[in-house]
Amino acid sequence: MILVIDQQSDADSLKDILSRSDIFSVLTPEQLDFLVDRLVLKSYKKGEFLVKQGEPVIKNIKFVVEGSAKVFVTSDTGDEVDVDYRCKGDIIGLLSIATEGDSLVNVIVVDDIICYELSKEELYQLFKNNINLLDNFLNIYVKKYLTKVSSEFKQNALYYNSIERFFFTSLVSYVTNVNYPYVDINATVAEAGKQMSLKNYSACVVIGYGRPMGIITDKDLRKKVVAKSLDYSTPVSDIMSAPVYSVEDDVTCFEAIVKMISLGVHHLVVTNNDAVFGVIDSESLMNLQTSSPLSFAKEIEMQNSVDKLAELSGKIISISSTMYRDGLRAESITKVVSELNDRVLRRIIDLGIEKYGNPPVNFCWIAMGSEGRKEQTFKTDQDNGIIYEDLDDSKDRKEVSEYFSQLAIFVNDSLVKCGFPPCPGNYMAKNPEWCQPFSKWKKYFDKFFSTPTNEAVLKGQIIFDFRGVYGERMLACDLRSYVNSIKNKALFVNFMARGFLNYGSPLNFFGSFITEKDENGDDLFDIKKRVLAPLVGIIRLFAIEEGLRSVSTMERISDLIKIRHKVVLEYHREIEHAFNFLLDLRMKNQIIQYVSGKEVNNLINIANLSSIENRNLKLACQLLEKLQDTLKRRYVL
């Protein structure tokens, strides 16, 4: 059984029930006495909030004896997304064990609740004194909760942003320091300190008999060596902390934080099939909640002026740089960057509505291009538009048009202040062409497919990658459904395929990169223009042809594999590897440019590539050539 407690239980019967439960059966008699003495019986009425999203996390956990409660989140659009229910035998307050600051969820009583409460500090004390209890807790309750949360977040991704999912679904492997310091168990304190200094890390793993035997931290060196004037030739075994606590590389960051807090440690060894993979520290984990996406997103929403948003928006690049330095892949970083940029955009629109009043009809602000695909690295040109409801006779068309025109101007100009340059092609909402009622947008796509031109194909590269960001997002969903329902796509698809051949090969006759010279005579390769954009475009082409709803490149590849698209099925491993490599290389290059105070662009200095990078870039270019040849045969070009 999990945990079933009778509200009338006296101390002895309560202890007996706890000793037979799956989670507390590992406690010693003394620990059971400690637990029973500190459990407090409480009751809560139907409709009472036990936890409120955005308010400080609770300081205790509640073991439900009778009744039930609903766990849900409130999205940016005001929608409520049910995550789970807590009933007899469940625990309320799991998140509070590992999180500080504000709660990420709401918990409301559905049926009057009677529960036993225990403070977090007292639970930590039990964890520290009994490691088996911690393992039980993680396996029985936390994993059950995370599985449910992850499932619900994924199912409701339209309504709830991935920043909130980030903390719960990210694996520790994403933020593990794989270049960790380590020494043999026979090494000296001096050797351990040297390794920590060389690798600039706050802990050193002590290895013996092929496995981790202990760990030495900065704190150990200060308190056990320096403060006691200990000789630096002292063996590390004399001062190391043992045993070593570890987690597998496939656990979530949330689980790792729970374990750290419960054990009172700041470092965990990360293992892969019992072999040491790296080390994770509390600072890196808590950055997921504080200095990076979660708290930053909340800070964005608190700003009440465009000028303050502009100050804050400039920090997004620093967050990207930190995440990249900590080992996250570019694909994950671009999603987080896009989410943060979305937050800035939504707050600007809120300010615009405060200024101009409520919209006369429902509307949806859409992002297009790389912003629509959530593949932004650093600040890119604006590509956006507005879809608003078709007007009936009761609405003044001119009045509606003028409202959205002034709102679009305000938003686009404010985005410029926040560091998002205007689109050179004027694919922006303040351009009347891209601020139109739903029926007009449908006509755009009708024309694209019926009478394709070079201009239509050029527009299609941006417009087809649209997604709803603010407002009535069903307008964007309905438009995607309409686009997918159009039957006569062959002519446009053929025309678009021909356009990708016009990109030409990124390699010259001798198999070298086609580059351009800078003022210093260095060979620069435009990674976006030469290879990334056409690769993304070819995947877009297949997605349009098959009527897919997905927008991001990786999601499109996955969906094309599911429907067994012949070309993607043949090359999908090469395509996925090339796409991720190109994103990583572009991000690395742009971070170096940013840190060096140079203009951030897509130009790669070939001379700065390692031999492996050079080879992988060449393989990506050769893959593009193969795909271009496939287009020639597939569409008889």
pLDDT at residue number 1: 37
Rounded-to-integer distance, Cα 406 and Cα 422, Å:
16
pLDDT at residue number 326: 58
Which residues have C-beta within 8 Å of that of residue 428, sequence separation ≥ 6?
A: 382, 383, 384, 385, 408, 412, 422, 434
Which residue shows structure tokens 């459904």? 481
Q: What is the pLDDT of residues 380-393, one digit of tens each?
A: 789 999 999 998 77
Q: Structure tokens of 117?
A: 């409460």
Residue 291 predicted with pLDDT over 60: no
Residue 442's CATH number: 3.30.460.10
Which residue shows structure tokens 């270049």? 179
Q: Structure tokens of 30?
A: 């003394």
Q: Do 164 and 187 have their domain in common? A: no
Rounded-to-integer distance, Cα 194 and Cα 187, Å:
11
Residue 25's CATH number: 2.60.120.10
Q: Do 578 and 630 have their domain in common? A: yes
* 188 occurs within a structural domain: yes
pLDDT at residue number 135: 75
Q: Do 323 and 439 have their domain in common? A: yes
129-133, 178-182, 446-450: the lowest-pLDDT one: 129-133
The angle formed by the CA atoms of residues 159, 358 and 437, to the nearest 5 degrees, is 70
Which residue shows structure tokens 């010259």? 508
**Residue where a domain terminates, one of 286, 304, 332:** 286
Count how many Cα atoms sit within 13 Å of the Cα of residue 81 in the half-sphere of its side chain: 25
pLDDT at residue number 4: 45
Which residues have C-beta within 8 Å of that of residue 302, sequence separation ≥ 6?
A: none
Centroid of chain to Cα 301:
18
Which residues are paired to 267 by β-bridges?
281
Residue 548: strand, helix, or coil: coil
Residue 235's CATH number: 3.10.580.10
Q: Structure tokens of 60?
A: 């205790």
* 1 occurs within a structural domain: no
243-248: long-range contacts, CB 8 A cutoff, minimum separation 24? 243/213, 243/214, 244/205, 244/212, 244/213, 244/214, 244/215, 244/269, 245/269, 246/212, 246/270, 246/271, 247/172, 247/271, 247/280, 248/272
pLDDT at residue number 180: 86
Q: Structure tokens of 131?
A: 């490691």
* 266 occurs within a structural domain: yes
**508: DSSP letter:** -
Q: Residue 629: enclosing H or E segment and its boundaries?
A: helix 611-634
The CB density around residue 578, as the number of other CB atoms within 10 Å, is 23
The angle formed by the CA atoms of residues 185, 189 and 192, to the nearest 5 degrees, is 75
* 2 occurs within a structural domain: no
429-433, 469-473, 505-509: the lowest-pLDDT one: 505-509
pLDDT at residue number 637: 62
Q: What is the pLDDT of residues 42-53, one digit of tens each?
A: 999 999 999 888
Q: Do 245 and 342 have their domain in common? A: no
* 489 occurs within a structural domain: no
Q: What single-letter amino acid sits at 553?
A: T
Q: What is the pLDDT of residues 193-249, one digit of tens each?
A: 999 999 888 899 999 988 889 999 888 898 899 888 889 999 999 999 888 888 888
Q: Do 165 and 176 have their domain in common? A: no
**Residue where a domain terminates, one of 120, 150, 169:** 169
pLDDT, greater one: 59 or 45? 45
* 488 occurs within a structural domain: no
The average pLDDT across 351-361 equals: 95
Mean of pLDDT over the chain: 84
Residue 259 predicted with pLDDT over 80: no
Whether residue 243 is preceded by a cis peptide bond, meaning omega within 30 degrees of 0, is: yes
Q: What single-letter amino acid sits at 202?
A: S
pLDDT, greater one: 258 or 252? 252
Residue 533 predicted with pLDDT over 80: yes
Q: Residue 362: enclosing H or E segment and its boundaries?
A: none
Residue 558 predicted with pLDDT over 80: yes
pLDDT at residue number 295: 60
**Residue where a domain terminates, one of 286, 317, 339:** 286
Q: Residue 426: enclosing H or E segment and its boundaries?
A: none
The average pLDDT across 542-551 equals: 93
pLDDT at residue number 164: 44
Rounded-to-integer distance, Cα 8 and Cα 14, Å:
9
115-129, 313-327, 409-423: the lowest-pLDDT one: 313-327
Residue 405 predicted with pLDDT over 70: yes
Q: Structure tokens of 564?
A: 């067994």
Q: What is the pLDDT of residues 124-163, one digit of tens each?
A: 888 888 878 877 776 666 555 555 554 444 444 333 344 4
* 201 occurs within a structural domain: yes
Rounded-to-integer distance, Cα 451 and Cα 453, Å:
7
The average pLDDT across 107-136 equals: 86
Rounded-to-integer distance, Cα 201 and Cα 188, Å:
18
pLDDT at residue number 169: 57
Residue 76 predicted with pLDDT over 60: no
Q: Judge contact between 107 and 49, C-beta under 8 A.
A: yes
Most confident range, picked from 34-43, 120-129, 322-331: 34-43
Rounded-to-integer distance, Cα 434 and Cα 444, Å:
10
Q: Do 258 and 298 have their domain in common? A: no
Is the four-CA dihedral 628, 632, 635, 637 of positive or negative sign? positive
pTM of the model: 0.59
Q: Do 547 and 620 have their domain in common? A: yes
Q: Judge contact between 549 and 607, C-beta under 8 A.
A: no
List the end-to-end C-alpha distance of the chain, in Å, as a whole number: 67
* 277 occurs within a structural domain: yes
Residue 97 predicted with pLDDT over 70: no
pLDDT at residue number 347: 94
Q: Do 177 and 256 have their domain in common? A: yes
Question: What domain range includes position 549?
Answer: 495-634
Helices 293-302 and 162-169: crossing angle in degrees, nearest 10, is 160
Q: Do 219 and 354 have their domain in common? A: no
Residue 6: strand, helix, or coil: coil
Q: Do 384 and 508 have their domain in common? A: no
Q: Do 331 and 412 have their domain in common? A: yes
Centroid of chain to Cα 201:
25
The number of folded domains in the chain is 4
Residue 18 predicted with pLDDT over 50: yes
Q: Do 546 and 454 have their domain in common? A: no
Residues in the chain: 637
